[in-house]
Amino acid sequence: MIRPILALLLLAAPAHAERAVFELSQEQVSITSTFSGTELTVYGAIRPDPGEAAPDTPPGVIVTIEGPEGVAIIRQKTREAGIWVNSDAAAYAPVPSFYDVATSAPLADLLRGSEDAAYNISVPARTRAVTARQPSGDPQAFAAAMTRIGERSGRFRSREGAVRLAQGALFDAHFSLPSSTSQGDYVVRVFLTRDGRVIDATRRVFAVRKAPLERYVYQFAQGNGTLYGCIAVLIAIATGWLASVIFRKDRR
Amino acid sequence: MERTKRIRDVTLYLPIAEVSVNAWVILGLGGLVGFLSGLFGVGGGFLLTPLLFFAGIPPAVAVSTQANQIVASSFSGTLAHLRRGTLDLKMGLMLLAGGLAGSAVGVWIFNLLSRIGQVDLMVQLFYVVFLGGIGAMMFVESARALTRKAPVRRKRQRGWAARMPLRMRFRTSGLVISVIPVLGIGFLCGVLAAIMGVGGGFVMLPAMIYLLKMPTKIVVGTSLFQIMFTSAFTTVLHAATDHSVDVLLALLLSIGGVLGAQFGARFGARLRGEQLRILLSILVLIVCFKVALDLVLAPDDPFSFTMELMR
């Protein structure tokens, strides 16, 4: 009898007014010809609102990074007449191409389900999207497959304890973006939580861009495909000819 | 120590594939496939495409870029065969004429199949049936030729190809045959190549050996000559339609490929025709077995996940 009342009281209690301020170790990531992924550190401080004393215990800290969004296509193979065939497919959009959640404690301890659904923080909550194509089979299985394969391939990550707290007021989290990082705008979000509720949410955008030469090649391939293809063939022929000349000289 | 490490991991970012790769791995893959290409006269796309998937290259980029690298290795191989006089230019041009017409029809059939759906499955079944049939046939024939004590010269019987009208002399191949079967084989190979998404060397080679009765050594050079044109055509087509040809990846593969092709062509010159044929048939059967296995074995995860970015 007492428990529900206690819970109600907690729910009604005003959240502590604390805010996070943070910085990124890189404001702009450039994809150059030797790019092989990059490291990014989010570091910051937790400050009580002016005139309020800092509580005894630090709040929970959650830091997320998400990549540009796209359409996720999930296909299912089934056995038909002895051979495995792609028989069913589902498509969801928009889904982030990369999503990494770092937390200062197990996510379930920091966040209750309703708050997760409101702020889209956990991997399943953030990657849930509009169904662009309904599978004919069980939709639950397709949604579960997206999370499962996404986590296995490192596209979606959930790292408990990856946010370090120091002196009760400073935090930092390390992220590594893979070499397959797509260019676009990346969003960093920082949440502070107390008693399973979000008390502060801030976001920041940083850009991942190709270096000028890489960008030029890409735009040329998109803009004038036929000419680009012809040049690619000419380069190949030149390479083949060069090798043949070198080998002929080598022979004499 | 520091320097050797730096040399060992040369990572390069590919502008179209949008991933970074170890340059040495790609050079090595190109070299391996180039060697086989120079040795057997096949383009090698059937091997390179799955190897590129393993290296982490997106499928669309892998399929189009390997066509570009085949241009380089087959051109290098063609020059090597031309110098050695193991290339029948006239025959190659005739096959090419038939092949271009055939690939146009093939692309039309491919689009028809994709409208019906299950085009991937059709391609895999084509692989198994054609590669399996051709590979088994070549294996039996060349094994029989090898087990014979003294290599008897196959007597050149006047086949059906010599009895048809519109006869032509193909001096390098030492044949006087009608152009109708030559154009027809070129056409059929073009159709199959377009449907299966490969250069067609696999179908062309046995057809030239067993149907046209060309000498095996001439077949290799002539096939490379023809593949050079079809792969150049495919590269431009892919670049124009789905923009998925990566020049940097192609260049790395080509450098490895042309070197490999030169070694392959030299190594091939030391082998006898039937030895070359049995090696090729074993390679064909291995690939066929692998494709068949993929169709029959249960996948690790029945679900797969791909992502298309919105731009």
Domain contains B265: yes
Q: Which residues of A touch B306 (CB under 8 A)?
A: 72-73, 75
Mark residue B263 as left, alpha or beta (left: phi above 0; alpha: psi -120 to 50; beta: remaining).
alpha
The dihedrals phi and psi of A15, each to the nearest 5 degrees, come to -70, 150
Our count of domains for chain B comes to 1
- Binary contact (A83, B308; C-beta < 8 A): no
Q: Which residues of B touch A139 (CB under 8 A)?
A: none
- Closest-CA residue in chain A for B23? A34
CB-nearest to A229 from B83, B235, B306 is: B235
CA distance A69 to A97: 5
Nearest to B207 by CA among B98, B59, B305, B61: B98
Q: Quote ipTM for the complex.
A: 0.78
A176 vs B: CB within 8 A: no
Provide the chain A residues 117-156 that lie in CB contact (below 8 A) with chain B: 141-142, 145-146, 148-150, 153, 155
A217 vs B: CB within 8 A: yes
Domain contains B160: no
- Binary contact (B248, A217; C-beta < 8 A): yes
**Residue of A156, A208, A222, A239 to mutate for B, most B C-beta atoms under 10 A:** A239
Question: What confidence tens digit (pLDDT) does each residue in A19-61 have?
Answer: 999 999 988 888 888 888 889 999 999 988 887 777 888 899 9
CA distance B57 to B52: 6
| Maximal C-alpha separation, chain A | 99
- Binary contact (A35, B120; C-beta < 8 A): no
* Residue B20 DSSP SS3: strand
Provide the chain A residues 3-22 that lie in CB contact (below 8 A) with chain B: none
β-strand partners of A100:
A65, A157
Distance from CA of A228 to the nearest CA of B (A): 7
Domain contains B251: yes
Domain contains B283: yes
pLDDT confidence bin for A230, thresholds 50/70/90: very high
Q: Which residues of A touch B224 (CB under 8 A)?
A: none
Distance from CA of B11 to the nearest CA of A (A): 6
Whether the predicted pLDDT of A231 surpasses 90: yes
- Closest-CA residue in chain B for A178? B19
Helix axes B119-147, B179-196, angle to 10 degrees: 130
What CA–CA distances, in Å, run from B193 to A5, A130, A162, B211, B280?
74, 39, 52, 18, 18
Q: B104: domain range?
A: 2-150+172-296
- Binary contact (B72, A237; C-beta < 8 A): yes
Which amino acid is located at B76 in the chain?
Answer: S
CB-nearest to B262 from A95, A222, A243 is: A243
3-state secondary structure chain A: CHHHHHHHHHHHCCCCCEEEEEEECCCEEEECCCCCCEEEEEEEEEEECCCCCCCCCCCEEEEEEECCEEEEEEEEEEEECCEEEEEEEEEEEEEECCEEEEECCCHHHHCCHHHHHHHCCCHHHHHCCEEEECCCCCHHHHHHHHHHHHHHCCCEEEEECCEEEECCCEEEEEEEECCCCCCEEEEEEEEEEECCEEEEEEEEEEEEEECHHHHHHHHHHHHCHHHHHHHHHHHHHHHHHHHHHHHHHHHC
**Residue of B12, B305, B308 to mutate for A, most A C-beta atoms under 10 A:** B305
Whether the predicted pLDDT of A12 surpasses 60: no
Mark residue A157 as left, alpha or beta (left: phi above 0; alpha: psi -120 to 50; beta: remaining).
beta
A204 vs B: CB within 8 A: no
pLDDT of residue A192: 94
CB-nearest to B303 from A85, A149, A214 is: A149
The dihedrals phi and psi of B38, each to the nearest 5 degrees, come to -65, -30
- Closest-CA residue in chain A for B303? A76
Q: Which residues of A touch B77 (CB under 8 A)?
A: 240
- Closest-CA residue in chain A for B74? A240
CB-nearest to B236 from A95, A97, A233 is: A233
Residue keyed to tokens 């495919």: B234
Whether the predicted pLDDT of A103 surpasses 90: yes
pLDDT of residue A97: 92
A69 vs B: CB within 8 A: yes
Which amino acid is located at A72 in the chain?
Answer: A
Neighbour tally for A216: CB within 10 Å: 12
Distance from CA of A6 to the nearest CA of B (A): 45
Nearest to B205 by CA among B32, B35, B43: B43
Whether the predicted pLDDT of A13 surpasses 50: no
Q: Which residues of B touch A179 (CB under 8 A)?
A: 11, 13, 19-20
Give the percent of chain A with pLDDT over 90: 50
* Token couple for B296: 């029959």
CB-nearest to A180 from B18, B68, B121 is: B18
- Closest-CA residue in chain B for A239? B72
The dihedrals phi and psi of A64, each to the nearest 5 degrees, come to -125, 150
- Binary contact (A239, B118; C-beta < 8 A): no
Is pLDDT larger for residue B213 or for residue A97? Answer: A97
Taking only the tens of pLDDT, chain B with its 311 residues reads 555 656 667 888 888 888 888 889 999 999 998 888 878 877 777 778 778 877 878 777 887 888 888 888 888 888 888 888 888 888 899 988 988 888 778 877 877 776 666 666 777 787 788 878 888 888 888 888 888 755 555 555 556 666 677 777 887 777 788 888 889 888 888 887 777 666 667 778 888 888 888 888 788 888 888 888 888 888 888 788 778 889 999 999 999 988 888 888 888 888 887 888 888 888 888 888 887 887 888 888 888 888 887 66
Q: Which of A63-67, A113-117, A231-235, B199-203 is predicted least confidently?
A: B199-203
User: What pTM value is reported for the model?
Assistant: 0.74
Residue keyed to tokens 């087990």: B147
CB-nearest to A233 from B68, B79, B306 is: B68
Domain contains B165: no
CB-nearest to A236 from B71, B298, B305 is: B71
- Closest-CA residue in chain B for A67? B309
Question: What confidence tens digit (pLDDT) does each residue in A147-188 have?
Answer: 999 999 889 999 999 999 998 889 999 999 988 788 889 999
